[in-house]
Structure 1
Amino acid sequence: MENNISYEGPNSGLQIGQNHGHITAQFLQSETSFNQACLRDLRTTSPRDDKDRIEKTNGGLLKDSYCWILDNEQFKEWQDSQSSRLLWIRGDPGKGKTMLLCGVIDELTQSTGDNANISFFFCQATDVRINNATAVLRGLIYSLVEKQPSLLSHVRTRYDPAGKTLFEDINAWNALSNIFTDILRDPNLQNTYLVIDALDECTIDLPFLLDLVIQEISTHSHVKWIVSSRNWPSIEERLDTVTQIAPISLELNETFVSDAVQQFIRHKVHQLAKVKKYKDEIRDFVYHHLLSNSQSTFLWVALVCQDLNKTSRRHVLKKLEEFPPGLDDLYGRMLDQVRKSEDAELCKRILAVMSIVYRPITLDELTATVEIPNGLDDEALLEIIVLCGSFLTLRDDVIVFVHQSAKEFLVEKAHIEVFPEDQEAEHLAIFSQSLLTMFKTLRRNIFDIESFGISTKEFTQPSPNPLAAAKYACVYWVDHLQEGWCGEDTAHSLDERCVDNFLRQKYLHWLESLGILGSLSEGITAMLKLEDLLQKRGKSQALLDRVQDASRFIRYYRKAIESSPLQVYSSGLIFSPTQSITRICYQREKPDWILNSPVVDKSWNSCIHTLEGHSHWTILITWSPDGSQLASASVDKTIRIWDPASGQCASILEGHSDPVTSLIWSPDGSRLASASNDKTIRIWDPAKGQCALTFKGYSGSDDSIAYSIAWSPDGSKLASASDDNTVRIWDPATGQCTSTLKGNSDRVISITWSPDGSQLASSSDDTTLRIWDLVTGQCASSMFEGHSGLAYQIAWSPNGSQLASSLDNNTMRIWSLDTRQCASTLKGHSGPVVSINWSPDGSRLASASFDNTIRIWDSATGQCTSILDRHGNWVRWIAWSPDGSRLASASNDKTIRIWDPVTSQGVLTLKGHSGPVMSITWSPDGSKLASASFDTTLRIWDIVTSQCASSTSEGHSGSVYQIAWSPDGSQLASASDDKTVRIWNPDTGQCASTLKGHSRSVLSIAWSLDGRRLASNDKTIRIWDPNTGQCESILKEHSDSLRSISWSPDGSRLASASDDKTVKIWDLATGQFASVLEGHSDFVMSIAWSPDGSRLASASTDKTIRVWDPITGQCASILEGHSDIVRSIAWSPDGSRLASASNDKTVKIWDPAIGQCASSLDICTVTFLQFDKTKPNHLHTDIGTLKLVSPDPVASSPYPSTLPGIYGVSTA
């Protein structure tokens, strides 16, 4: 924890005494502000404020209505006995459980004073802020630290490094559970009472909450609990396992509850009589009528009195007769009142909508879900809500039900009235109204943001918020369509046309809005649901194609849009495949500063998702057996559980103290096993996000590490391979080792079960493969003829007939288990193969390598059918989904990628060379590819047909190192180990001339811009006339390899850059170097002359650019700012600007006159830069052409003084 300590005033030096008081004050002030910030972020609502609101809403807390419980035997036992720690109050709706708990809280507060903590929480199903288990813990912890501030240290320990996200992200429940447990274990914790009202209204993660309550009840004697709920079997089933429980059933205490209701009626009638000025006979009649009809239900009394409060005194007796006894009958009468109003149809529509929306909605959002008649303003809409007042109420502009039972009545017992057609029709109506609202509301740059690159963290929400009415519609429109289509197959062609029009006209605007709302995950889920709906209907292939393309689009650019929503119009469009339906449809939205789009694929590649979140290398992945979840493990010591459909991280499992070495789901999907360098194996409950069992050590010690673990096919056993040279079989239920398989002389690194579970295969650093008989515990075979080297991983084929091994020599082998012979060797990777995995049907084998690629092989033929190459670092692990439709990979680039192996690009293999290919280059028009090889030949390939158009059967007598097309594409030059340069006719493959004179291998060649001269080097530079084959000059003197050559604009001089850290300038007339430019501290990578030849710029691996005076050889300026190698530089046509590209993934524009960076663009690694000669604000790169905006601070352009951003490249 950092603390800001400052020294102010004249005090300095060693005046410690004088400063001490000031420092202490400053420190305390800082600590106070940190504590306040922590409490502010922890708070969702104040439970104390919730209690006050509930009491006021119910007309105040009446002691006579709850005091009966204080004398209840179960209550007194709970209060007085150490053996009774949980008081469970249960009863039917409306029986007054919440007000009863309010009274108990007051009594406990009064009786304990400052000697105990009273922490409480009131769940409410219709309020998203307080209807989930996470909110309960936040409320309880907030109340505890508010009463006992010293407990805040437990929160601060985790809050300080994480901030507010600790309480809100996917791990909030786990984090808060740990904090809560730490607080309860604090030795300084006072006697504590924890109260949770309405467990049945905790609609999210209630099982987690119940399990935590049950766990903590038995642990802490100084902590007592009170919970209330309806008589739900699911709650009773869990709480019945608690031995220290004191249950109170309100139904079994009917007499006491009835007396309490009588006191409540007396109180409410007294209030009515006072306000409405009832005469005694009216007051008595109201009292007795309520008493005889209430059926001991507080809610019934409260609702009737609420209506009587709006009734004139002279009509009260008649009105009373209209109220039937019983809650359901009362709701029926209230619905009848709605039916008789002039706005009956609108009221019923609103009640219908409120009954089926997925969360409470605001008044603004109501207009997006219900068709409101013209001329109905906000004030009139409020009147309509009041008409529904017996069912609905307005709280902080949010419409909610007065009680959960009111919603249940409408859905279960009044559905014919509220849903005259059916619920499906109402869902479709909401869907249609949602689309209409989004059509009216959504637009490009809806927040009027000034720059495409501004992130959501920098947004300022306009007032009024233009998205206020559309928030609900943006998130839930597909859900309502899905519910509306769930009935029989009916004609929904109109709905399909609406969806099609929306995707054609508003899709990018919708994605922008989702980015602003922080709801991209919900958007991805919506598109996947829509895709599934259309596939099941099978009616409109064109719409399905559009939806599938849109689904790929949102998943591919998720990170970019989440970060900066306006990137959907820049990176989203320009980096999408050229045949993307979304890209083609929205070409009009492409920014006008993108002139020439970068070269991209024609169709989407096979990478469906890139999952990011781990802070270090991702090394392991495994699918759940049903394919609904994906688990990953990282060097960051954590395990993450992902939703592979949406790409959202569902939970993080923490507990290992070292990197995880192996990870695998149990066959039934209920458990996840992990092994770690911390010398433990852990069994996790992934549903709860908790470790269920930890077993440590091997051979009775803690000195061994398990490198690989594997569940038996029936899930009854767990095998481990470890560095103590053994394989061990464990009982995963107890963590006990049941047998040890010995025989290896070095560590065992991989194991796999046979499909029938009778055998186990292992690979070891002793270079053996072993098959173990699990009945005898003996090695059945270790003889695999031809096996040698280290097998990183082994995998049993699904039919049990073959075993695959991945090797450190870049190959894989498939073994026949009948013959122990190698059936095939799979070659193609250029790095060690570290992971292999059979497809579920055994027809394919996937491999992952340190060459950063994944290959898919036909297991029958041994042929590579496709290569997946989007990872930016070593691929560590791969895993097929259970249905074989997806492949997941984990990489050192910290990502997990999910692939569609069906749509993966086939491998285009150009065969013909008999030796390694050293150089390839495209013709200027891109129609041909030239290749050079160690086999001494050149080949010209037709890319369309994949055929060799021509080849050089005779010519070079040594390996060919480099080839280069002439600027007009009419000639091809080659540099060779035979010390010659050759000029070729690419159409015929005939050698036009041979340039001789080099005394060493010729390493590189370069054509002059006019094509009239050719330069080549072998540590010396030779200038050739390619037409005559004559060497015009020889330039010597560099002491190391050459990197770059550049002719001066007038052609009289040549500059050369070298690994000797110098730049030399040569006078071509004399063949002598005119000057040596020294100053770089590392290799010089690139050089470029200014247009007038008065300056020369050089770029280096020392991360700097230097601008030189080529006449004097003096360095005029050093341009610093890049954080990695500078690869390329280019001057603007007028010489006023210099562009540079670096491995740090930026392009910078410099003002060389003052040596300052004028602007910078975060983009990607660019290797080529060139200003357009006719349009000086256009910069050509190898990823496209950028239009640079003039740095005019008063210009009206939305991109002042910056480069236009091509954003999201790193996530594309």
Structure 2
Amino acid sequence: MMEHVCDSKDAELCKQILAVVSVIYRPISLEELTSTIESLARFDSDPAALETVIGSCGSFLTLREGTIYFIHQSAKDFLLNDAHSQILPSGIAHQHHAIFSRSLEVLSRTLRRDVYELSAPGFLIDNVSPPDPDPLAPVRYFCIHWVDHLRDLNHAEGVAQKQLQDDGPVHTFLLRNYLYWLEALSLLRSIPQAVLAMQKLEPLVGGSGNGQLADLLQDARRFVLSCKGALEIAPLQVYASALTFCPTRSLVGRLFRDEAPNWIISAPDIEADWITCLQTLEGHGDTVKSVTFSSDGQLLASASNDRTIKVWNATTGACMQTLEGHSDWVMSIAFSGDGRWLASASRDETVKVWDVATSACVQALEGHSDWVSSIAFSADGKRLASGSRDRTINIWDAATGACIQTLKGHVRSVTLLAFFANDQQLASGSMDKTVKVWNVAIGACIKTLEGHGDWTTSMAFSMDGQWLVSGSENDATAKIWNATTGTCIQALQGHNSHVASVTFSADGQRVASGSGDGTIKIWDTAKGACMQTLKGHREWALSVTFSPDGRRLASGFGDKTVKFWDVATDACAQTLEFHNGGITSVAFSEDGQWLASGAESDGTVKVWDTATSACVQTLQGHQSSVKSVCFSADGQRLISGSGDRTAKVWDVATGTCVQTLEGHTDWVTAVAFLRDGARLISMSDDGRPESRTWVVKVWNAETGACVRTLEGNSGSVARPSFVTRPNTRLSADRDVQVLDLFDTETQPQKISGISTVPHDHGYRISPDGVWIVKHDQRMLWLPSEYRPLTSAIYKSTIALGCSSGRVLIIQFSTEAFER
């Protein structure tokens, strides 16, 4: 076969083509081949001639729809084994090096900002059509595989090390082109490949002692993990969202600061360094109830109230599969030890077993008469245990699906299960406040552990089976037990709400606990001391699990997300001012100089300088969450309404509470100054419940006396709004109603709508809270941790109050954006 090639007039070209095609990782197009072999450049204008050259390799290659394939795997094997000396005379490493070098050369020449000329920063990837000609068509292969060719160089020759030196080819390429490369991968719908590429490069550099490049690669990996969600939606957000929300000391952020959008005049204050959360996975439509790693740590599965299970690549965060089939919430999931099977328990009273490779449901196990709330595989994968609200535990033969045993003894719902390491015993937790240990062989309960003040919500064994950790509903503790004796040896205290999930690290030295207070805590098993507290979810931490190597933690929460955390290193200290709880209300002063924020948990009001984002006052005095805040027209006073049924008036300059207004019998959900400053308004839900009314009180601002009480029917006043212009009108959401605050005979009148916001230059938050838009054009994608619970707009400045307790202030340009 080689004789035919060698006898052709294009013998040398054919050998070059065969050499390239023999070592690449997928079939390539004619355009990609032309970019790979410099001598083929002359065929750019004559593709038919290039096809003729490919035809000369007909014993090995075939051309289908512009893509080059081997006619059979045996053809590739022959070239690499029998014809190696003819097509790869310098060795396969030399060919990898040639393709790698050519990749960086062509990519550096091709990549640029907005290569498809989309212009709009929020242009969605689903709406992108490649231009003709497509500037990325010749470099698609290079974009995805340049790192693979570097990795497969022969390290003994020292070639790879030369490429990985500081100021060497790789370092220079990333310094100049990293964001442009990410944009290209986004356009190619291949952002997970960027994560893999950085992960492959880091160990290569680690061995060569290249400090600057090693630091850049570590930062580049964190950068793409943090903005992956944005780039999978809108390619140009690599210059907007990614740069806006990266840490101030990010190397990538500093290198490409000139690429940041010029329509953001003042960016929000962001942490100086990368936080513990590696990435946030979005895709579920409801609460994530359970997360679990496969035994090799390559996959993560998540179960949700949206009735689906998702299987994710644990390295890149890419969703690989969505398993559908349950007709109600999926409560619990578990991988078999070999990773082949995934079991799921559901409120539809069934257990399903899935083939992980094919996504097929291979078993549907029925036998429970109520919700199935927990599932567990034995270590050998031969048995499957399911716990139910019907108070029983079923043991199933995993191969046949037959129920081989039913364990009875709990007097309330069985909420969780875990096999001992020896597979001979099973532990079960229940709403009856006990943990039972069962001998699986005989089906008998051999031990009952008691000590929690409420029902057991979560439970896990250490890998060696020596210890058992359990979490409880209302006593906010996790307990560590000696699994042999049943003795409680540690009580882990520190959460402010129930402990929903617990897990051991593989070495048994750490316990992770997720709580209804929205935090995850990492504990030292031996000492019972809290080592780390992880924050970042909006709602309850319903499930936590360590990766097998103990370096990462995955969590599932009520905010529909899954998060990966880096727990191998200490979390960085927070240097920014926070509320200790979700933000419930934000309001600008009339001149936009100040912003006030109220929080859910800590009962404080903070006043921020909008120019510097610095907290200038923390106002303390409320005994419950702050529901609403509002400045007086002159900005000298601030009123706050609280769940403690009071409203307070504060001197903004001194931070002193000058009045406490009492008289409401329920939460004060909205407050305002009237424009003349002589009167205050407060609203509460303390009207007649049967008529669904609210109550408004009007106060004398000087004396604090209540001068008027009004009732109105709003249907719902979850977020009422006031209009405080000199006409003294008041409105509530839903059917907008107006009350004259002076005329006692005036009845509510419906009006078409009221605006309480100064001219906002078109900037606002999208209805789903994911985007900041201008005149309905998407501008800035908000990462999940910065999506607001509440927001305020003053002209072109937007304030975001987040569930984490953060307040972000972003000022936008009033001019048309240029980039």
Once the 2 structures are TM-superposed, how far is the Cα of residue 965 of structure 1 from its aligned partner? 6.9
Residue 1165 of structure 1 corresponds to 788
Residue 253 of structure 2 corresponds to 583
Q: Does 1:815 align with 2:454?
A: no
Distance 1:726 1:387 in 2: 71
Residue 465 of structure 2 corresponds to 800
**SS of match in other structure, 1:842:** coil
Kindly report which structure 2 residues correspond to 1:765-784, keeping only aligned pairs within 5 A, or say none.
Answer: 765-782=431-448, 784=450
Larger Rg: 1
Give CA deviations for 1:92-149 in whole Å, capped at 9, x if unaligned. xxxxxxxxxxxxxxxxxxxxxxxxxxxxxxxxxxxxxxxxxxxxxxxxxxxxxxxxxx
1:711–1:1004 Cα change, 3 Å: closer
Residue 691 of structure 1 corresponds to 361
Equivalent in 443, 448, 454 of residue 789 of structure 1: 454
Q: Does 1:464 align with 2:464?
A: no
Q: Does 1:1187 align with 2:802?
A: no
Residue 355 of structure 1 corresponds to 22
Equivalent in 520, 524, 547 of residue 858 of structure 1: 524
Kindly report which structure 2 residues correspond to 1:579-728, keeping only aligned pairs within 5 A, or say none.
Answer: 579-697=249-367, 703=369, 706-728=372-394
Once the 2 structures are TM-superposed, how far is the Cα of residue 512 of structure 1 from its aligned partner? 1.2
Distance 1:640 1:1098 in 2: 48
Q: Is the 8 A contact 1:1062 1:1079 kept in 2?
A: no
Residue 409 of structure 1 corresponds to 78
Letter in 2 for 1:438: L
1:353–1:1026 Cα change, 3 Å: closer
- With normalisation by structure 1, the TM-score equals 0.56
Distance 2:487 2:704 in 1: 70
Distance 2:726 2:164 in 1: 68
Distance 1:566 1:966 in 2: 31
Give CA deviations for 1:1049-1097 in whole Å, capped at 9, x if unaligned. xx664453433565859797999979999897636755576xxx76789
Kindly report which structure 2 residues correspond to 1:278-677, keeping only aligned pairs within 5 A, or say none.
Answer: 331-338=1-8, 341=9, 344-372=11-39, 377-379=44-46, 381=50, 384-385=53-54, 387-388=56-57, 391-401=60-70, 405-485=74-154, 490=159, 492-496=161-165, 497-535=168-206, 537-677=207-347
Distance 1:1158 1:688 in 2: 41
Q: Does 1:1145 align with 2:769?
A: yes
1:1077–1:1146 Cα change, 3 Å: farther
Once the 2 structures are TM-superposed, how far is the Cα of residue 445 of structure 1 from its aligned partner? 0.7
1:866–1:680 Cα change, 3 Å: same
Equivalent in 819, 824, 840 of residue 490 of structure 2: 824
Letter in 2 for 1:361: I
Letter in 2 for 1:508: L
1:1098–1:932 Cα change, 3 Å: closer
Distance 1:634 1:1011 in 2: 46
Distance 2:608 2:336 in 1: 62
Of stretches 491-500 and 372-381 in structure 1, the one that deviates more from structure 2 is 372-381
Once the 2 structures are TM-superposed, how far is the Cα of residue 748 of structure 1 from its aligned partner? 2.8
Give CA deviations for 1:509-545 in whole Å, capped at 9, x if unaligned. 111111112222333322322234334x343232122
Kindly report which structure 2 residues correspond to 1:883-922, keeping only aligned pairs within 5 A, or say none.
Answer: 883-903=549-569, 905=571
Once the 2 structures are TM-superposed, how far is the Cα of residue 573 of structure 1 from its aligned partner? 0.4
Letter in 2 for 1:796: F
Residue 732 of structure 1 corresponds to 398
Residue 1131 of structure 1 corresponds to 758
1:396–1:1106 Cα change, 3 Å: farther
Q: Does 1:869 align with 2:530?
A: no
1:761–1:1179 Cα change, 3 Å: closer
**SS of match in other structure, 2:39:** coil
Residue 983 of structure 1 corresponds to none
Higher relative strand content: 2
Letter in 1 for 2:107: M
Q: Is the 8 A contact 1:1106 1:1119 kept in 2?
A: no
Distance 1:464 1:371 in 2: 20
Once the 2 structures are TM-superposed, how far is the Cα of residue 757 of structure 1 from its aligned partner? 3.1
Aligned length: 769
Distance 1:527 1:1110 in 2: 67
- Higher RCO (C-alpha 8 Å, min separation 6): 2
Letter in 2 for 1:333: E
Residue 755 of structure 1 corresponds to 421
**SS of match in other structure, 2:788:** coil
Distance 2:124 2:506 in 1: 43
Higher relative helix content: 1
Letter in 2 for 1:371: E
Give CA deviations for 1:615-673 in whole Å, capped at 9, x if unaligned. 33322222221112222223333333322112222334444444334322222333333
Once the 2 structures are TM-superposed, how far is the Cα of residue 729 of structure 1 from its aligned partner? 3.5
Distance 1:358 1:407 in 2: 12
Once the 2 structures are TM-superposed, how far is the Cα of residue 974 of structure 1 from its aligned partner? 5.4
Letter in 1 for 2:152: E
Distance 2:731 2:768 in 1: 14
Q: Is the 8 A contact 1:845 1:858 kept in 2?
A: yes
Distance 2:56 2:650 in 1: 94
Distance 1:1084 1:670 in 2: 49
Distance 2:652 2:550 in 1: 60
Distance 2:726 2:372 in 1: 66
Q: Is the 8 A contact 2:524 2:530 kept in 1?
A: yes
Letter in 2 for 1:628: Q
Query: Any gaps of 5 or more consecutive residues in structure 1?
Result: 1-330, 911-915, 925-929, 935-959, 978-1001, 1121-1125, 1151-1156, 1200-1212
**SS of match in other structure, 1:888:** strand
1:542–1:727 Cα change, 3 Å: same
1:1095–1:532 Cα change, 3 Å: farther
Once the 2 structures are TM-superposed, how far is the Cα of residue 1021 of structure 1 from its aligned partner? 7.8
Once the 2 structures are TM-superposed, how far is the Cα of residue 572 of structure 1 from its aligned partner? 0.6
Q: Is the 8 A contact 2:122 2:777 kept in 1?
A: no
Residue 237 of structure 1 corresponds to none
Q: Is the 8 A contact 2:302 2:311 kept in 1?
A: yes
**SS of match in other structure, 2:38:** coil
**SS of match in other structure, 1:878:** strand
Distance 1:467 1:726 in 2: 59
1:402–1:1072 Cα change, 3 Å: closer
Once the 2 structures are TM-superposed, how far is the Cα of residue 1016 of structure 1 from its aligned partner? 8.4
Distance 1:969 1:745 in 2: 53
Distance 1:803 1:332 in 2: 66
Give CA deviations for 1:388-417 in whole Å, capped at 9, x if unaligned. 455445443333445655444322211111
1:773–1:1148 Cα change, 3 Å: closer
Once the 2 structures are TM-superposed, how far is the Cα of residue 1042 of structure 1 from its aligned partner? 7.1
Query: Any gaps of 5 or more consecutive residues in structure 2?
Result: 590-596, 685-693, 801-806
1:483–1:897 Cα change, 3 Å: same
1:1159–1:1062 Cα change, 3 Å: farther
Distance 2:485 2:236 in 1: 61
Q: Is the 8 A contact 2:603 2:621 kept in 1?
A: yes
1:715–1:420 Cα change, 3 Å: same
